[in-house]
Amino acid sequence: MFEDALIKRIADNLAEQGYIIVNDFLPGALAEAMHNDVRALQELAFKPASIGRQQTEQVDNEVRSDKIHWLSEGKEPQRTYLQLMDELRLALNQRLFLGLFDYESHYAHYAPGDCYHRHVDAFKGASNRVLSKVLYLNQGWGEYDGGELLMFDDGQSSPFLMVTPQFNSCVIFLSEQFPHEVRPAKRDRYSIAGWFRLNNSGSQRIDPGR
């Protein structure tokens, strides 16, 4: 359960500037459990990440070279994490009237040298992703380990923000508003990438969860 003060701070920052960085985001025991969970996964559990969605989905290692593993409610501690994110979804809906319908997320593993070039998580008016969220699971991350998240204002070539992937720190931002990229790291880099989404289902179309 998130404290009301944190929910208010997240909501206020999203409303005012479109993003927020939160340190010590998860309760300590859950953050440790998620770290242990992702590190215990076998390499075969990770699949090459793709770009695009549905008909345009494809693997392009020139754009991104990380590997991913989708989270599931069928396994602890992933179930507890997803339940907590659903509580956050409902709380943000209550404060910001965003109409968020669900949350999807995956572990991301960047091996040394892997990167994800500049991109946006949602194209304006053409996607159901509203909020992007990245939670970092890297213990003992040093300033020379690399792997930073760079965030840009649309149309600008230089980043206005650089986020170091420190353990249990989290960045949440408007999916359509901020292009971003992941710089190569010098050691294995783990995170949870997730998106709070609208429901775009209609009478002629079912909105997939991924």
Q: What is the amino acid identity at position 59?
A: V
What domains can you pick out in the chain, each with its CATH number? 4-197 (2.60.120.620)
Query: 8: pLDDT confidence band, cut at 50, 70 and 90?
Result: very high
- Burial string for 8-30 (b: 16+ CB within 10 Å, else e) reads eebbebbeeebbbbbeebbeeee
Write down the pTM of the prediction: 0.90
25-39 per-position pLDDT tens digit = 999 999 999 999 999
pLDDT given for residue 207 in this prediction: 43
Residue 209: the pLDDT is: 42
Q: Which residue has the higher pLDDT, 76 or 126?
A: 76
d(CA 4, CA 150): 29
| Residue where the block lists tokens 């020139």 | 62
Rg over alpha carbons for the chain, rounded to the nearest Å, is 16
Mean pLDDT calculated for residue range 127-150: 95
Average pLDDT of the residues of the chain: 90
3-state secondary structure (DSSP) of residue 19: strand
Are 128 and 176 a contacting pair, CB within 8 Å? no
What pLDDT sits at residue 200?
A: 65
**Whole-number pLDDT of residue 52:** 54
State how far the Cα of 163 lies from the Cα of 20, in Å rounded to an integer: 11
pLDDT one-digit tens code per residue, 61-90:
567 889 999 999 999 999 999 999 999 999
Residue 54 has pLDDT above 80, yes or no: no
Whether the predicted pLDDT of 21 surpasses 60: yes
Cα–Cα distance, 164 to 195 (Å, whole number) = 20
Three-class secondary structure of residue 185 per DSSP = strand
Nearest 10 degrees: Cα torsion 191, 179, 206, 46: -30
